[in-house]
Structure 1
């Protein structure tokens, strides 16, 4: 008897000497034995746990989930992560103890506090996500060529655009940039970003019209490894995620399909998303700028564009006028592009007065982009230093009576521009009855016609 008691005491001593949480229950979940360390882990007294049911302790919130029913069901060793009342994360293992006749009679469990390990794991996952974003952002920047010219704003029209852009840059308000293709909407978007508090963050441009509809979700939100056939085995960070801390510029937003409009609206509203094939919700802090050359109000009326998305984007609309409505910018742009491309291609080229005149009277349906491309073409293809009329493509040569023989000797380019503009307006005034008809035929707005007529005292 004394030997049995001595042996029992030795077992108790061994049990309590362990630093780990050791807990023994019967098949009904009643706690029979605990180590002294157990109470400290669960923030209760160890002796108070003896005789209690693990089911009752779970209901009281002491720990969850419990292992007992799982071990009873599987009749084998089970390991899971348990959460204590004070938020600790415990890696708990339950082991079945069988009688010699094969009957399961006891369940022994032990645990390790892995709170710090799980926190470290989350930290490493977050760092891995951040590094992945930075890596993808660098790859995008390497694959794109950004033209680095400043915005040219000689005209009053463009000066007003820049003034509004400066005002909205100070606050994280959604901006919708409107205007024809090639007017410089993306440059205005970058201007707003660079003048905002987010200038230290990324500027991520998404051309909504260039991404195939079937690939849009994967490209925009990214995807997890193996989420679909042909996917990168490492997965991919989406463009939306790359905008963290910066500006997300949705160019050609009017080209989005209806299903993708719904996804973009939800993303802008909630600023959180799931990667394709993923279950982890991701949050992004960004500012939205959007641009389109479509009449979105008309698209809303025709049910081609969602009204709720339109109102979400159209908080501050900025309309960038076409090049034909800001002719005073053309001469400055000509000078700039000639200098830029001469330096780029190591050429010395100048434009003949007749060539300059022809450039001033064009419609420029492709706007700034068309003018820039033509100047680059002239610099590259001309064989002589002076670029003359014969170097111009045929469709850029217009005949306009006495204006085609305009003499600019001894005058600055600005004077030439204003003189040409004045003569064009005078001729239009003689030909058309109202300023509205003049505007339609000159390809500018009616207020611009009235303002320019006042400038040159044309009645």
Structure 2
């Protein structure tokens, strides 16, 4: 039997535990009448504990001292309940209600334990506001990006290049075919992508095909695709061609002068009817794409020689754009040198600078590989130079006189061997390829050394292998 002294001690212990706890504790009886409350209840609930004791949780909920009441939920559900409460003091608290049962499974007490989450909730609201601001700023940035066109990023100081860029900017929004003329390495692919990005088809695919890199025997299947089992070695699943992949977007045919006459006929029909028929298929399929073509060859001359169809030429020649070679846009050298130097300093984690005399060295060179050759040179200098300032001596270009004398010497040698000009060119190309193959670890490195595209390197090597059989 518990005597009065023991009961008083238990009361004192309970009060001490109640007020020492980090939790806000309220105890009610089985009818929801508050028996005990933490002393700083006013801070949590906006009501002093003395006033809360003896009141019903039902009345306290109506007064919005706390809402909703976890004690009411426990009495209704006869189990432990956890929920978020708002209080008259403006607090947001996480509260857990715990039922205490007697021997007959009746609730005789409900103990609620709560934690103040007001600061956390405020942080959450501040975070959501910050996220809203970030989303707004991102939206504004996107609008500014939309105003800045892809052509604005292709900066130039050259009047010739500005004229070409302006022509491409005007034609970008149309559906007209564009034919880009220019030497190897002037950036025809970059401009083709810019036209696509500025067109109404920018959300569609940009499909690029190098007509000179795909063997003639495979070109048709690559372009038009094929049905399952259409020919020996064909995939049983069939294959979608590059043209079909460009449906809704842009098809870019690079080195179009390398396309065989047979495929030129098929391409012409495609442009007229906008339908493709896969190899092995019976029915044709409609396709909708915008065509951009590029070449470093004289297509008019090829038409005269019978190696390029005249009707296809005029189909492609709707908007011809000539991209000037680097030697004709020398105003761009300072800008290009700065762009490439910054690019490769970042890539190789260096801080190289060019000697002021480097620009004059560049201006005296003819740059047969154009922008690609300049880019490859700067990358090579950043990699190999062990000085902070790259000396102009590393820009070791042959003078025109030295190159001419060497060419004449080679010409006399080939004449003595009874070789024609074509045979001499093939021999020189062979030597260059073999040397690049020795020094380069991959066809991509070979392409950089030779100032040509990687697919062209692959094609030339295959030809070389076939010739040696």
- Please indicate the TM-score interval, normalised by the length of the shorter structure: 0.5 to 0.7
Aligned with 1:156 (options 148, 159, 164): 159
Aligned with 2:370 (options 367, 371, 395): 367
Q: Confirm whether residue 172 of structure 1 aligns to residue 145 of structure 2.
A: no
* Distance across 1 between alignment mates of 2:156 and 2:255: 23
Residue 194 of structure 1: aligned partner: 197
Q: Confirm whether residue 302 of structure 1 aligns to residue 294 of structure 2.
A: no
* Distance across 2 between alignment mates of 1:229 and 1:385: 59
Q: Deviations over 1:10-40 (max 9, x none)?
A: xxxxxxxxxxxxxxxxxxxxxxxxxxxxxxx
* Distance across 2 between alignment mates of 1:390 and 1:149: 34
Deviation, structure 1 residue 274: 1.3
* Distance across 1 between alignment mates of 2:376 and 2:401: 19
The answer (yes or no) to whether the contact 1:358–1:397 under 8 Å persists in 2 is: no
Q: Confirm whether residue 321 of structure 1 aligns to residue 324 of structure 2.
A: yes
What TM-score do the two structures reach when normalised by structure 1? 0.53
Residue 379 of structure 2: aligned partner: 376
Q: 1:370 to 1:398 in 2, by over 3 A?
A: farther
What TM-score do the two structures reach when normalised by structure 2? 0.52
SS in 2 for 1:353: coil
Q: 1:396 to 1:389 in 2, by over 3 A?
A: farther
* Distance across 2 between alignment mates of 1:334 and 1:269: 44
Q: Confirm whether residue 345 of structure 1 aligns to residue 343 of structure 2.
A: no
The answer (yes or no) to whether the contact 2:180–2:295 under 8 Å persists in 1 is: yes
The answer (yes or no) to whether the contact 1:245–1:286 under 8 Å persists in 2 is: yes
* Distance across 2 between alignment mates of 1:149 and 1:364: 25
**Matches for 1:127-138 after TM superposition, within 5 Å:** none
Deviation, structure 1 residue 150: 4.0
The answer (yes or no) to whether the contact 2:361–2:395 under 8 Å persists in 1 is: no
* Distance across 2 between alignment mates of 1:248 and 1:334: 31
Q: 1:349 to 1:223 in 2, by over 3 A?
A: same
* Distance across 2 between alignment mates of 1:167 and 1:390: 43
* Distance across 2 between alignment mates of 1:335 and 1:398: 30
Structure 2 gap segments, 5+ residues each: 1-150, 403-469
**Matches for 1:416-455 after TM superposition, within 5 Å:** none
Deviation, structure 1 residue 227: 1.5
Deviation, structure 1 residue 354: 2.5
Residue 254 of structure 1: aligned partner: 257
* Distance across 1 between alignment mates of 2:296 and 2:212: 11
* Distance across 2 between alignment mates of 1:166 and 1:216: 31
Deviation, structure 1 residue 257: 1.1
SS in 2 for 1:363: coil
Aligned-pair Cα RMSD in Å: 2.0
Q: Which has the larger radius of gyration?
A: 2
Structure 1 gap segments, 5+ residues each: 1-147, 400-459
Residue 232 of structure 1: aligned partner: 235
Q: 1:199 to 1:271 in 2, by over 3 A?
A: same
Q: 1:190 to 1:332 in 2, by over 3 A?
A: same
Aligned with 2:284 (options 281, 286, 305): 281
Aligned with 2:338 (options 335, 350, 374): 335
Residue 438 of structure 1: aligned partner: none
Q: Confirm whether residue 183 of structure 1 aligns to residue 186 of structure 2.
A: yes
**Matches for 1:403-414 after TM superposition, within 5 Å:** none
**Matches for 1:55-66 after TM superposition, within 5 Å:** none
The answer (yes or no) to whether the contact 1:221–1:240 under 8 Å persists in 2 is: yes
Residue 391 of structure 1: aligned partner: 394
* Distance across 1 between alignment mates of 2:152 and 2:364: 24
* Distance across 2 between alignment mates of 1:250 and 1:159: 24
Deviation, structure 1 residue 167: 0.8
The answer (yes or no) to whether the contact 1:323–1:368 under 8 Å persists in 2 is: yes
Deviation, structure 1 residue 353: 1.9
Q: Confirm whether residue 268 of structure 1 aligns to residue 310 of structure 2.
A: no
Deviation, structure 1 residue 201: 0.8
* Distance across 1 between alignment mates of 2:175 and 2:325: 27
Deviation, structure 1 residue 314: 0.2
Residue 14 of structure 1: aligned partner: none
Q: Deviations over 1:410-434 (max 9, x none)?
A: xxxxxxxxxxxxxxxxxxxxxxxxx
* Distance across 2 between alignment mates of 1:155 and 1:394: 24
Q: 1:396 to 1:285 in 2, by over 3 A?
A: farther
SS in 1 for 2:189: helix
Q: How many pairs align? A: 252
Deviation, structure 1 residue 398: 9.6
